[in-house]
Amino acid sequence: MHELSIAESILDAVRKEIALHPGTYPTRVGVRIGSMAAIDPESLNFCFSAVVQGTEWDNLKLDTNVVPAKRICNSCGHMFVVEAYNAVCTACASENTTPDGGDELDLEYLEVEKDGAPVA
3-class SS letters over 66-109:
EECCEEEECCCCCEEECECCECCCCCCCCCCEEECCCCCEEEEE
The residue-averaged pLDDT of 55-65 equals 95
- CA–CA gap between residue 113 and residue 10 (Å, rounded): 18
Query: Quick one: pLDDT at residue 97?
Result: 98
Look up the pTM and report it: 0.85
Average of per-residue pLDDT across 28-56: 96
Domains defined along the chain, listed by start: 3-113 (3.30.2320.80)
| pLDDT score recorded for residue 29 | 98
pLDDT, tens digit, for every residue of 19-32? 999 999 999 999 99
CB 107 within 8 A of CB 10: yes
